[in-house]
């Protein structure tokens, strides 16, 4: 059983929770104007791990046939046969239940909205079949993290939370477009929708740059509305540098460093914004 769990955690790349988790905590810290209580921090962590695990495992189930046909993804655990779909379904159900439990422990509004959050994250897995806006829908699903973090602490909504959610939306969409460029030919041949498939790789990379410009502008706006100090803006300068480097190391002729752009740089971005926010508060 432990071996199966290890395979599932590898399949869903549990370490990539780092992309959204800092933004969830950022929403919580902004709502609290400092540190939330230890119970809130714990249940936000549990909620984020639960929903992200459920969403990723569900995505692998929905895309199993596509993954098997794609040379880049055919070695994933389900196509390779080392995990049964029934085993992954159990994991999806358990992770979703953990998320709902965490939402219940946080507050009533979180609990009421928990099925909506699950529905949005599950819906993304189908979107590449019918819309090239799938990147934005993925961004919107992950953009719920800071909104959820705010609601977990405040028990209500606030414009700052939605601005931060929008910043995450365009940030995620921007680097998902870059990541999707790797599957340009496969998507074209299998009638799958994406911005690279619709507009070509060169234009897709320009769209990604535009998304990240919007992200930066929204993060500046969040800082102004929240009254954050100079350290926050120093963090934003670092983030802008990371974003620029991401786009400099990837080109239509050379996508070999996409993983550096996708994983390493974006992991730094999410951690820098959280630390900068904490010091500003």
Q: 215-232 pLDDT, tens per residue?
A: 999 999 999 999 999 999
pLDDT band at 20; cut points 50, 70, 90: confident
The predicted pLDDT at position 260 comes to 64
Q: φ, ψ for residue 251 (rounded to 5)?
A: -145, 165
The predicted pLDDT at position 5 comes to 78
Q: 86-139 pLDDT, tens per residue?
A: 999 999 999 999 999 999 999 999 999 999 999 999 999 999 999 999 999 999
The predicted pLDDT at position 253 comes to 86
The predicted pLDDT at position 257 comes to 80
Which one is predicted more confidently, 134 or 259? 134
Handedness of CA 163, 210, 13, 141 (dihedral sign): positive
Structural contact between residues 12 and 60, judged by C-beta atoms closer than 8 angstroms? yes
The share of the chain scoring above pLDDT 90, in percent, equals 79
pLDDT band at 214; cut points 50, 70, 90: very high
The share of the chain scoring above pLDDT 70, in percent, equals 98
Q: Which domain covers residue 68, as residue numbers?
A: 2-280
Q: How many whole angstroms separate alpha carbon 154 and alpha carbon 28? A: 8
Tokens of 99: 């998320």
Q: How many domains does the chain have?
A: 1
pLDDT (average), residues 233-257 = 91
The predicted pLDDT at position 93 comes to 97
Q: How many whole angstroms separate alpha carbon 137 and alpha carbon 55? A: 13
Structural contact between residues 24 and 275, judged by C-beta atoms closer than 8 angstroms? no
Which one is predicted more confidently, 234 or 265? 234
DSSP 260: I
- Best CA proximity match to 76, nearest among 90, 92, 95, 56: 56
Task: Look at residue 265 and give its three-state secondary structure.
Answer: helix
pLDDT (average), residues 154-174 = 97
CATH number at residue 262: 1.10.357.140
CA neighbours closer than 13 Å in the CB half-sphere of residue 246: 31
**For the range 9-15, what are the long-range contacts, defined as Cβ-Cβ under 8 Å and sequence gap of 24 or more?**
10/77, 11/56, 11/57, 11/60, 11/76, 11/77, 11/78, 11/83, 11/88, 12/52, 12/53, 12/56, 12/57, 12/60, 13/56, 14/49, 14/53
pLDDT band at 261; cut points 50, 70, 90: low
- Identify any residues that bridge with 66 across adjacent strands, giving them in sequence order: none
């Amino acid at each position: 059983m432990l071996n199966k769990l290890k395979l599932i955690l590898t399949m869903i790349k549990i370490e990539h929770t780092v992309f959204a988790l800092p933004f969830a905590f950022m929403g919580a810290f902004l709502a609290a104007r400092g540190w939330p209580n230890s119970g809130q921090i714990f249940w936000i962590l549990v909620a984020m791990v639960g929903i992200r695990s459920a969403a990723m495992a569900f995505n692998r189930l929905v895309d199993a046939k596509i993954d098997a046909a794609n040379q880049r993804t055919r070695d994933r655990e389900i196509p390779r046969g080392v995990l049964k779909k029934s085993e992954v379904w159990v994991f999806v159900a358990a992770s979703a239940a953990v998320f709902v439990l965490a939402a219940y422990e946080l507050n009533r509004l979180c609990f009421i909205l928990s099925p909506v959050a699950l529905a949005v994250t599950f819906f993304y897995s189908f979107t590449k079949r019918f819309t090239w806006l799938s990147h934005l829908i993925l961004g919107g699903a992950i953009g719920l993290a800071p909104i959820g973090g705010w609601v977990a602490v405040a028990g209500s909504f606030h414009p700052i939370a939605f601005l931060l959610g929008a910043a995450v939306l365009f940030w995620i969409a921007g680097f998902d477009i870059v990541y999707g460029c790797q599957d340009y030919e496969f998507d074209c041949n299998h009638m799958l929708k994406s911005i690279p498939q619709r507009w070509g790789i060169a234009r897709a990379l320009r769209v990604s740059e535009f998304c990240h410009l919007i992200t930066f502008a929204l993060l500046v706006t969040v800082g102004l509305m929240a009254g954050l100090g100079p350290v926050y803006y120093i963090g934003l300068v670092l983030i802008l540098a990371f974003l620029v480097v991401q786009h400099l190391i990837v080109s239509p002729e050379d996508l070999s460093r996409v993983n550096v752009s996708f994983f390493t740089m974006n992991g730094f971005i999410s951690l820098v914004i959280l630390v900068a926010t904490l010091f500003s508060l």
